Structure 1
Amino acid sequence: MDRKRVKSAQNSKIRTIITNAVCGEATETFHTTIYITTEDRKPSKILGCTIKNTEILESSFDEISPKKMDVTVNGKFEVHVWYEANGDTKVAKNIIQFSENMQLDKIEDNKYYNKHVLAWINKNPNTLGTMVINKDGKPAISVEVEYEIGVEVIGEARLNIVSCNNETKHIQKEEDNIFDSILIEKDETFEDDDD
């Protein structure tokens, strides 16, 4: 480092930058079996099945430790099944609610504040198969469903920077000004309010 940069570093001040950062993330595939009752008539044939209107309703923390974060994601989707019974075509519609627990690894062992969960459907629910069954003495249709949920935990990160004054009278290149004035360091002085 030349003398000009040493002099500039000696006239520096430490400042804190506060920004949002991803401090944990996960993607997980879930499988579930849905049972749809078909009134009193036993279906002779399943004609089709579709799933739509998938929605995340809520996401929240279950537990936060220094290394792990557990979150719960609640949502819903609609299942429509067409089937044949006694020569007639029928349709059964059900709104299915789900609640899935996901465990996230922290990306780094840094301190984060004011954490919140962002969750989304990474892969829409699709049907793996349908079958006519007898459930509790009544005819029903079982639907195997698969879907994928993505989760990120966003936290407030605090970084210390060294801010240096450039005391030279001539104009330097923009790249030199940036190099001389900012040095990013990890903030070790704050404590996590969630731990």
Structure 2
Amino acid sequence: MKRTAGSEKNREIITKAICGTAKKDFRHTHYIDLPKDIVPDQILGCSVTQLRLQQPKVQEKNLVDRAIEIGGSYEVHIWYALNNGKTTDVLRCPIDFKDSVQMDYYDHQSIGLFDIRTTVIKSPRVLESVITKDNRIKLVLEMGIYVEVVGETKINVRVFVPENDEDDD
């Protein structure tokens, strides 16, 4: 294949690509109100179940600054003792959360937003559980999220067109 002047052309290809990424560890503090007749002595343990993430949304603060809004819910099970440790019980509390993740990288050349993919990289867990003086339970939870923004983008490629001087068919 010979290359001669005029045998090169550029072609624009539109494709899906990862146009942005973000990663964040969240810490949320929640205060749980107990029923009036329950006065716990101590918290024996906590677990987090039933994590559900909502469809993430893009927050455009300006043309350059973008963030992804992450929201969802989980259920916290709090095992506690009362009556000087003679009785134990479990309190189940559904908790909603919402936070935003600043984009670490975002290709501003993308021409359309297709999809936002979220992955839990650190499952939610309770870091701290304390009974407060006003008979509430203070919980500090953490979890980690990784986000990929998949969008349409353009790629310019150089195409070499062979000359058909001789047909070798």
User: TM-score when scaled to structure 1?
Assistant: 0.74
Q: 1:152 to 1:37 in 2, by over 3 A?
A: same
**1:73 matched residue in structure 2:** 70
**1:174 matched residue in structure 2:** none
C-alpha separation in 2, matches of 1:62 and 1:56: 17
**2:101 matched residue in structure 1:** 102
Amino acid at match of 2:149: V
Q: 1:170 to 1:122 in 2, by over 3 A?
A: farther
The offset of 1:23, in angstroms, is 1.8
User: Are the counterparts in 2 of residues 36 and 92 from structure 1 also a CA contact under 8 Å?
Assistant: no
The offset of 1:92, in angstroms, is 0.5
**Seq. identity, %:** 30
User: Are the counterparts in 1 of residues 130 and 137 from structure 2 also a CA contact under 8 Å?
Assistant: yes
**1:148 matched residue in structure 2:** 144
User: TM-score when scaled to structure 2?
Assistant: 0.84
User: Are the counterparts in 1 of residues 112 and 153 from structure 2 also a CA contact under 8 Å?
Assistant: no
**1:192 matched residue in structure 2:** none
Amino acid at match of 1:142: K
User: Are the counterparts in 2 of residues 124 and 148 from structure 1 also a CA contact under 8 Å?
Assistant: yes
What pairs up with 1:76-87 in 2 under 5 angstroms?
Answer: 76-86=73-83, 87=86
Q: Indicate the structure with greater helix content.
A: 1
User: Are the counterparts in 1 of residues 7 and 163 from structure 2 also a CA contact under 8 Å?
Assistant: no
Gaps of 5+ in 2: none
Q: Which has the higher contact order (CA 8 A, sep 6+)?
A: 2
User: Are the counterparts in 2 of residues 56 and 121 from structure 1 also a CA contact under 8 Å?
Assistant: no
User: Are the counterparts in 1 of residues 76 and 93 from structure 2 also a CA contact under 8 Å?
Assistant: yes
Is the aligned partner of 1:10 residue 2:9?
A: no
**1:38 matched residue in structure 2:** 34
C-alpha separation in 1, matches of 2:167 and 2:30: 73
Gaps of 5+ in 1: 172-195
Matching residue within 22, 47, 50 for 2:47: 50
SS in 2 for 1:44: strand
SS in 1 for 2:121: strand
Amino acid at match of 2:49: K
The offset of 1:107, in angstroms, is 4.2
